[in-house]
Amino acid sequence: MAYEQLKLDNQLCFRLYTAARMVTSAYTPYFKEFGITYPQYLVLMVLWERDNRVISEITDLLKLETNTVPPLLQRMEKQGLIVRQKSVSDSRQRLVSLTKEGKKLEEQIKEVPNCLARKIVNDGINPDELISLVQLLDKFIG
């Protein structure tokens, strides 16, 4: 190989990409039970923190592309987790709100983050390293 910096093992971006995929797949068995995906979980968390958000706010908070969120919300609406309606203050905007089912899911799913943290610790990362990792990632993604 002509350029050492082009080796896959030397790429920070590949490590981050792989870690993200591993975390997403680690969540999958937990979410399967509730019939949701990881991106849907992210939307739910945003709405559990504060309900009745405009789509652009959800998009910004989750750092997703604007064309990614509407199909995601459409599927969630079909599942009965959310409703979308025109904003009273600005009819061009759509408000996203939790349904009774979406609110109920918060109680059912509350232990999933702890399960994942336990899995990470069981896989060999000690709690202090996990805290350091979170702190570093917070600095990185700002």
* 37-49 as b/e: b if 16+ CB within 10 A: bebbbbbbebbee
pTM passes above 0.85: yes
Q: How far apart are CA 120 and CA 138, in angstroms?
A: 18
Q: What is the pLDDT of residues 119-129, one digit of tens each?
A: 888 888 888 98
pLDDT the model gives residue 17? 93
Residue 105 has pLDDT above 90, yes or no: yes
82 vs 23, more confident: 82
**Cα(26)–Cα(137) distance, integer angstroms:** 19
| Tens digits of residue pLDDT in 68-87 | 999 999 999 999 999 999 87
Query: 53 by DSSP, 3-state: which?
Result: strand
CB atoms within 10 A of CB 34: 16
